[in-house]
Amino acid sequence: MQRITIQSEPIDDQKPGTSGLRKKTRVFMGAHYLENFIEAIWQGIGGVAGKTLVLGGDGRYFNDRAAQVILRMAAASGARKIIVGQSALLSTPAASNLIRMRKTDGGIIMSASHNPGGADEDFGVKFNTPNGGPAPEDVTNRIFEATKSISSYEIIETQDVDLSKPGVTELAGMEIEIVDPVADYAALMRELFDFGAIRSLLASGFSIRFDAMHAVTGPYAKALLEGDLGASFGSVVNAVPLPDFGGGHPDPNPIWAKDLMDAMFGDDAPDFGAASDGDGDRNMVVGRGLYVTPSDSLAVLAANAHLAPGYAGGLKGVARSMPTSRALDRVAEAKGLDCYETPTGWKFFGNLLDAGKATLCGEESAGTGSDHVREKDGLWAVLLWLNILAARKQPVAEIMNEHWRTYGRNYYSRHDYEGVDANRAGGMMTVLRNSLAELPGKTFSGRTVEAADEFAYDDPIDGSRSEGQGIRIGFSDGSRAVFRLSGTGTVGATLRVYLETVETDPARMNRDAQEALGDVIAAAEAIAGIREHTGRSEPDVRT
């Protein structure tokens, strides 16, 4: 066993995006690519010497190899200890929990989340800070700056560490503790929710289907839903994590979780359906014959969270990302709660959660979570839903209809244009940005623009400012269109167009969302010229 210094040079495309660095797996496997980024993390956090970190990933292709490299680099640079999930697996929320519970100096999560996995698909690496949350922009900026001046890195030359069983071992003087990835997370869930009530609900014949999409949540869902809560065997489907997620996109939405949608809309549909993504931080909720949009789900959870023991004392406040629908704001207003609007990405919720300003947070992209960890948490959202269903003893559809009658309904949809030429997408955003000043007062498809701006966020806790966070067009009737470019893709640009309109007429609560949004969709096209700029006549995905 030998500590060696490897000469390297800067690689110029290692800028972390919305959620860490994501690239094609083969790029990550290329010479020095992973190593340089890990070295940059060490530099960005002021060195890893003497520190304790958590390490785990979603099990995708290259997860096991990358874990060995990171362990050898951490040992070579003098880390004190690494707490690693068995077989290098940890869901993102479980990693966040471990970082917090063990009071570590942070952690490294190996995942490209909802992006597909495999040798020809995507891989990713993300650093989380000691509060358990994704590194905020000042840290990711420091990491990026470090990538620009790497000249060498240290690594131990040795055999692989056996991560197949829990236990303690060591590598060149660094302690390695291999933990069961599920145990601590499951214990936290038992504290937050009324497992007795959920168990009774399931025992009464209430049927569920949880689609783990061959990703990391499988073992967690099996243990909690079928184990603790007694859901019938087979309620959790696609439960074994596979390096290529069975060839699918582990992205829980009606397109990629079509099997679940078919089951929930078919004969003999279960009472409740849910899915999670590659790294277990997203959730999708479906009732029998009814898809619950993530924005609506967030609002329903905010309105009902007090029914779960962990939130019985009420919420300190709520927060949503800017493009997320304002269904949450309606609940907050009715309940007298502060409601914060942050840029896209979970890292922006961290300060609010740490400061006790918000208890519940969410994003339209199927992310919901609370102050129990500092990441969004797919299975947590599913358990909170089940707890609410157990307490209210009503079907999902009835809960949704009551919710809309009480608070109004924000019809919502996101249109994604994927793999667009990056110059064309950027060009569209530039033209749109330059037209913002002239838009107010103009009418498009019957909707009059009231306000048009580019979102910037001033963090109320640390005062940091984040600019260029999406263009928002507000119409006088409360409708809205938001445009932004994705920061998680690995090929070309993905344009996201977020569309929302408010309905308060009780007779119009059960319309098709695309139809209800027809005018807003047309107005968005007229304002931005999506077709002309991108050459696309239809979005690739509507969620």
Residue 287 sits in the site that holds ligand VG1 (CB under 6 A) = no
- Residues 474-533, interacting with ligand VG1 (CB under 6 A): 486-488, 496
Q: How far is the CB of 412 from ligand VG1 (least distance, A)?
A: 14
- Cα angle vertex 147, ends 144, 150, to 5°? 155
Torsional sign, CA 460, 409, 280, 181: positive
Q: Which is nearer to ligand VG1, 19 or 77 (by Cβ)?
A: 19
Nearest to 409 by CA among 522, 304, 340, 510: 510
Which of the ranges 215-223, 270-278, 461-469, 518-526 carries the binding residues for Co ion, by CB under 5 A? Answer: 270-278
Q: How far is the CB of 19 from ligand VG1 (least distance, A)?
A: 4
Torsion of CA 317, 323, 327, 333, to 10 degrees: 40
First to last CA, the chain: 51
Of 105, 226, 281, 500, which one interacts with Co ion (CB under 5 A)? Answer: 281
Count other Cβ atoms within 10 Å, centred on residue 336.
6
Q: How far is the CB of 354 from ligand VG1 (least distance, A)?
A: 18
Give the contact letters, 343-382, x = binds to ligand VG1 (CB under 6 A), - = no. Answer: -xxx----------------x-x-x---------------
3-state secondary structure of 209: strand
d(CA 362, CA 385): 14
Counting residues that bind Co ion (by CB under 5 A) gives 5
Of 214, 282, 409, 472, which one interacts with ligand VG1 (CB under 6 A)? Answer: 282
Whether residue 113 lies in the annotated active site: yes
Q: Do the Cβ atoms of 275 and 379 come closer than 8 Å?
A: no
- Residues 309-328, interacting with ligand VG1 (CB under 6 A): 321
Residue 346 binds which entry of ligand VG1, Co ion, none, CB below 5-8 Å type-dependent? ligand VG1
Which burial class, exposed, middle or buried, applies to 491 when counting CB atoms under 10 A from its CB (0-12, 13-18, 19+)?
A: exposed
Helix (H) or strand (E) holding 374: none
Q: Starting at the edge strand that comes first in sequence, how are the strands of the sheet with 409-420 ordered? A: 443-444, 447-454, 471-475, 480-485, 493-503, 409-420, 541-542
Residue 387 sits in the site that holds ligand VG1 (CB under 6 A) = no
Q: How far is the CB of 510 from ligand VG1 (least distance, A)?
A: 27
Q: Which of 19, 111, 113, 365 is catalytic?
A: 113
Residue 60 sits in the site that holds ligand VG1 (CB under 6 A) = no
Of 11, 14, 16, 19, which one interacts with ligand VG1 (CB under 6 A)? Answer: 19
Q: Do the Cβ atoms of 84 and 67 come closer than 8 Å?
A: yes
Q: Which is nearer to Co ion, 126 or 357 (by Cβ)?
A: 126
User: Please, what's the b/e burial string for 177-214 (b: 16 or more CB within 10 A of its CB; e: otherwise)?
Assistant: bbbebbeebbebbeebbbbebbbebbeeebebbbbbbb
d(CA 102, CA 229): 27
Q: How far is the CB of 130 from Co ion (least distance, A)?
A: 21
Which residue's Cβ has the minimum distance to ligand VG1?
Answer: 113
Residue 251 binds which entry of ligand VG1, Co ion, none, CB below 5-8 Å type-dependent? none
Residue 367 binds which entry of ligand VG1, Co ion, none, CB below 5-8 Å type-dependent? ligand VG1
For residue 490, which amino acid is it? Answer: T
Of 14, 18, 96, 113, which one interacts with Co ion (CB under 5 A)? Answer: 113
Residues at the site binding ligand VG1, with contacts judged by CB under 6 A: 18-19, 113-114, 277, 281-282, 321, 344-346, 363, 365, 367, 486-488, 496
Q: Which residues are catalytic?
A: 113
Residues at the site binding Co ion, with contacts judged by CB under 5 A: 113, 277, 279, 281-282
